[in-house]
Amino acid sequence: MDAQQFLAEFGHIVNAPGGVAKLRELVYQLAVTGRLTLQLEEDGTADVALLNIARIRQRLITEKKFKRSPKLESAPLTPPAIVIPPGWRWSRLLDLGEINPRNQAQTDSESVAMATFVPMAAVSENHSEAIAGVVKPWTEISKGYTHFANGDVLLAQNYAVL
């Protein structure tokens, strides 16, 4: 199906039972497999990006601004048997960012502030819903939960409750 035919049939696709959900899944699959957009040479390679990230990460570790995860760091990277586009590389989330970063809001004045709390169940497993937080007093959520800030990427693994 080319773009012209897709646009001509779009109404039928969307109005079909489960059509919107299937369309979302298609776009998601195209995105995560590198087929949604063209790879431009000026975008650079994954190797260069990973090298730059590693340099920044090491600098932040040296400056004690980045929390290391020795147990996770020692685990080997075992790529799944999925073919990825040329120029892509398998990497661990740990190699790309900080897992459960330290929280900087520790002063007494901030302990009375309100903060947004996001229960893990509020993070959609298929990226189909907006994340909705609940405003709570900081004292209720400052301990026992993972803290995040604007710009963070949230991942949640929901477990079935028996």
Stretch 85-108: mean pLDDT = 75
Are residues 12 and 91 located together in one domain of the fold?
yes
Whether 111 and 139 have beta carbons less than 8 Å apart is answered as yes
Are residues 118 and 162 located together in one domain of the fold?
yes
Are residues 12 and 79 located together in one domain of the fold?
yes
- Residue 136, beta-bridge partner list: 115
Domain's final residue, options 96, 128, 153: 96
SS3 percent helix, strand, coil of the chain, rounded to 5, is 40, 5, 55
| Whether pLDDT at 52 is above 90 | yes
How many folded domains does the chain comprise? 2
Stretch 56-80: mean pLDDT = 86
Stretch 140-149: mean pLDDT = 78
- Min mean pLDDT across 11-15, 80-84, 152-156 is at 152-156
| Whether pLDDT at 111 is above 60 | no
As given in the structure block, the two tokens for residue 153 are 């990427």
Q: Please give the residue that has the higher pLDDT: either 37 or 47.
A: 47
Are residues 109 and 144 located together in one domain of the fold?
yes
Within 13 Å and on the Cβ side, how many CA atoms surround 7? 2
Domain that holds residue 89: 3-96
- Rounded to whole angstroms, how far apart are CA atoms 64 and 102? 10
Q: Please give the residue that has the higher pLDDT: either 96 or 127.
A: 96
Are residues 86 and 17 located together in one domain of the fold?
yes
pLDDT for res 103? 65
- Residue 137, beta-bridge partner list: 114
Domain's final residue, options 55, 71, 96: 96
Residue type, 131: I
Are residues 41 and 113 located together in one domain of the fold?
no
Are residues 126 and 68 located together in one domain of the fold?
no
Are residues 135 and 159 located together in one domain of the fold?
yes
Mean pLDDT of the chain: 79
Are residues 90 and 137 located together in one domain of the fold?
no
Are residues 26 and 54 located together in one domain of the fold?
yes
Are residues 11 and 83 located together in one domain of the fold?
yes
Domain's final residue, options 49, 67, 96: 96
- Min mean pLDDT across 23-32, 46-55, 146-155 is at 146-155
Whether 99 and 72 have beta carbons less than 8 Å apart is answered as yes
Are residues 28 and 81 located together in one domain of the fold?
yes
- pLDDT band of 105, cuts 50, 70, 90: low
Q: Please give the residue that has the higher pLDDT: either 126 or 14.
A: 14
- Residue 116, beta-bridge partner list: 135
| Whether pLDDT at 134 is above 80 | yes
pLDDT for res 22? 84
